[in-house]
Amino acid sequence: QVHLVESGGGLVQPGGSLRLSCTASGTIFRIYTMAWYRQVPGKQRELVAAITTGGYGNYADSVKGRFTISRDDIQNMVYLQMNSLKTEDTAVYYCNKDPGDNRYWGQGTQVTVAS
């Protein structure tokens, strides 16, 4: 059984930084492209960043230059470093495969950017 757990969210002021972590158990995810998604109430979940098995990152235009995705395949971890945060980055953040697999959505971690 696959289990993804996100952590690292919180309340931060505009311009601040957070680092999100995702740990996976029950699967060897080094063979998958992994991604971070986010969702705001009333809106569709959107892809924020993805990282290939080779470590190449792709980013949504809205976060390009501010967010960095990384992975540690030995520890089965995926990270999202978020810098220069904006109020519009407020959302629940999830990790999953890319494309998302409905079997693997976790609880997510809340990120709130507010002064």
Looking at every residue in the chain, the average pLDDT score rounds to 94
Residue-wise pLDDT for 25-62, tens only, equals: 877 678 889 999 999 999 999 999 999 999 999 999 99
Whole-number Å distance between alpha carbons of 61 and 4: 26
pLDDT attached to residue 28: 67
Closest CA to 34 of 47, 43, 25: 47
